[in-house]
Structure 1
Amino acid sequence: MSTKKPSPPRHDPKVVKALRNFAISMSVFNILGYTVLGFEQPWTWPFVAMATAYLFETLLEVIGARVEGRAPRFAGNGWKGVLEFLYPAHITALAMNMLIYVNDEIWVMVFGVMVAVGAKWVLRAPVKGRLRHYMNPSNFGITVILLVFPWASIAPPYHFTERWEHPVDWLVPLIILGAGTMLNAKLTGRTWLIMGWISFYVIQAVVRGVLLDTSIPAALIMMTGVAFVLYTNYMVTDPGTTPSVPASQFAFGAGIAIVYGFLTGAGIAYGLFFATALVCLVRGLYLWALHWSAKAREQRAAGEAAGAVPIDANGQPADNGQSVPGKKVVPA
């Protein structure tokens, strides 16, 4: 009788702790948003978004576990295992509903949540021997909505501080900045990514000001808004879809800022979301290129170890004419 192999852990303990804190932060922020700040989406929509994400995430996991012949990742550890499994879905659902505005068309929001969750099973690349999703889920769901439904838009930034006036309205971004900075510095380890993103955001704003006659102060003042602070601390730093090595983190953040500058300079709206999706796509393709390059080196080494002589693209021995009689010639 065949038995299912145990499922590998979805995340390491440090990432689980970061996801838990992200989930708690998003929950608190949404509660405050509907009761204090001035969120404009119907108060029932977060519950619809969460139900959609939970059910679709669980369904895809059950299907994936059956296809791969393993136990579902939410099984075997009681309610704690279920909660840890649903953290990403919880974060995605609340972020999607909070950041997208689709008027009264709730089905568009549901569609975006399903796209965000489903992309994790489709857009994957090999990382350390395992297939991992590389597209930021919430950002990708929002990007698809903006492309498929041109009448949709992101949530108006003012609804984060709609019910407050100066100086209280400054406290909201400051609180988010403080909480997000501690979370990323202590748990996600994405400080270098934030540094790359912010530093090159400033650079692209100055470059656009010089080359395109854009108002540099206007381009920079966006950094003081709640939307920018939320993006910097809670979206771009997603530990599941960003590099871990400091240099790669910095390049990833800088790349988003550079692409954003090009898109905004070309007059493309919502460049922040499109830039993030494009950079994630480039990273995914790069991971696949590394994978196939390593596979090719392994095959070449195996052929040489077996006494074979590789041939080049012209069908000639790729050993400078030093072929040894009796050796088998194989494609390089």
Structure 2
Amino acid sequence: MVVAQAKAGGRPPSGSRPRGHDPKIVIALRRFAISITIFNIAGYLFLGFEQPWAWPFVAVATGYVTELVFEMIGARVEGRQPRFRGGGLKGLLEFLYPAHITSLALNMLIYVHDRISVMMFAVVLAVSAKWILRAPVRGKLRHYMNPSNLGILLVLILFPWASIAPPYHFTEHVNDVGGWIIVGIIAVSGTILNAKLTGRMWLIFGWLSFFALQAVLRGLVFGTSIPGALAVMTGVAFVLYTNYMVTDPGTTPSKPAPQFAFGAGVALVYGVFMIAHIAYGLFFATAIVCLIRGMFLWGVHFVEQARRQRQAEQVLSTEGDRLAVVDDGSGSDTGGQAARPAAA
């Protein structure tokens, strides 16, 4: 989710989409934002969300301010126009979609008791990390750490008394049938969104297939309950993660094979954390795979940079040899021409 800049002066053209390298991604972000907003409203009205009613508004405001401040700083440093300008209200809203999604997701998924400052801290960390943890992709710097996942993970590490939202958080006030209906709605809507807009179905295939594989392998090798490990896949939190977090188009590969490898990698690293009896392994696994991908992107960049430098040196060396040959030949011709009249 990185802005394509105009060729002249690095400024985006007036009225351009702030995240507009692909209109489908903008549509996907809009639908993500609408979906998570509706889910939060339903969560507070019907499902059993336990955070105070004012917190979603505080979270969104914190995310907006952080995103806008960093964008203005970045625009000033890079000598360009801020990306939320030039497109009117629509352009501003499209620019704020990622911050909106991250802010609501963090407030919905972490439980920090009555410490609203910790929730705000998580939002600031998640949004600002997009400006700090970046790697070159096709000549542009893009963030590689999943913002929502990183915010959750840092809260769990820095504040041991905090936790993720309990499982009943999503279905406390509905019966078993209602719970399955919620899972089905999220699964169907998320699958359609990822299939038609984000193009991350190969990632989902890799994630789901290897999650099931690691659950079976843990049962066969270490004696853990295979049905219990597989039952995790039926929960609301798992379905939300599958369709709305791990498929983040800004921090995942776009080609089928790397997508599949990314999803499979998250599942396998999660299995390792489960074997080691480390809590919240899913968030650690996602962060580790994102970090590996970021380091890989930097490695590719440095290798490509070194290759281009070698090619440039070879071209300069070849050009220098050619000029030396030309200079030697012209000197001999001149000398021969000067000697002929003297001999005559």
Q: Does 1:281 align with 2:286?
A: no
Structure 1 stretches of 4+ moved >6 Å: none
Q: What residue number does 2:260 align with?
A: 250
**What secondary structure is seen at the aligned counterpart in 1 of 2:76?**
helix
Match of residue 12, structure 2, among 1, 7, 32 = 7
- Measure, in 1, the Cα distance between the counterparts of 2:149 and 2:105: 9
- Measure, in 2, the Cα distance between the counterparts of 1:258 and 1:138: 21
Q: What residue number does 1:111 align with?
A: 121
Q: What residue number does 1:56 align with?
A: 66
TM superposition shift of 1:5: 4.3
TM superposition shift of 1:197: 0.1
Pairing 1:165-176 to 2, within 5 Å after superposition: 165-176=175-186
Q: What residue number does 1:212 align with?
A: 222
**Which structure 1 segments of 5+ residues have no match?**
309-322, 328-332
- Measure, in 1, the Cα distance between the counterparts of 2:280 and 2:32: 24
**Which structure 2 segments of 5+ residues have no match?**
1-7, 326-344
**What secondary structure is seen at the aligned counterpart in 1 of 2:176?**
coil
TM superposition shift of 1:107: 0.6
Give the letter aligned to residue 145 of structure 1. Answer: V
Pairing 1:1-332 to 2, within 5 Å after superposition: 5-7=10-12, 9-11=18-20, 12-307=22-317
**What secondary structure is seen at the aligned counterpart in 1 of 2:160?**
coil
TM superposition shift of 1:10: 2.6
Deviations 1:72-119 (A, max 9, x none): 000001001100000000000000000000011111100000000000
Give the letter aligned to residue 17 of structure 1. Answer: I
TM superposition shift of 1:164: 1.1
Number of residues of Structure 1 aligned to a counterpart in Structure 2: 311
Deviations 1:118-150 (A, max 9, x none): 000000000011000000000000010011111
Deviations 1:251-287 (A, max 9, x none): 0000000000001110100001110000000000000
- Measure, in 2, the Cα distance between the counterparts of 1:176 and 1:5: 40
- Measure, in 1, the Cα distance between the counterparts of 2:261 and 2:230: 21
- Measure, in 1, the Cα distance between the counterparts of 2:261 and 2:115: 38
Q: What residue number does 1:320 align with?
A: none
User: % of aligned pairs identical?
Assistant: 65
- Measure, in 2, the Cα distance between the counterparts of 1:215 and 1:64: 50
* Structure in which a larger fraction of residues adopt helix: 2
TM superposition shift of 1:167: 1.7
Give the letter aligned to residue 168 of structure 2. Answer: Y
Contact 1:126 1:291 in 2 (8 A): yes
Give the letter aligned to residue 265 of structure 1. Answer: I
- Measure, in 2, the Cα distance between the counterparts of 1:5 and 1:276: 33
Contact 1:4 1:71 in 2 (8 A): no
**What secondary structure is seen at the aligned counterpart in 2 of 1:10?**
coil
Deviations 1:193-234 (A, max 9, x none): 000000000000011111211111110000000000000000
TM superposition shift of 1:166: 2.0
- Measure, in 2, the Cα distance between the counterparts of 1:75 and 1:142: 31
Contact 1:62 1:72 in 2 (8 A): yes
Deviations 1:152-191 (A, max 9, x none): 1000011100011122221111111011011101100000
Larger radius of gyration: 2
Give the letter aligned to residue 200 of structure 2. Answer: R
TM-score (norm 1): 0.91
- Measure, in 2, the Cα distance between the counterparts of 1:116 and 1:298: 35
Give the letter aligned to residue 167 of structure 2. Answer: P
- Measure, in 1, the Cα distance between the counterparts of 2:204 and 2:284: 18
Contact 1:197 1:250 in 2 (8 A): yes
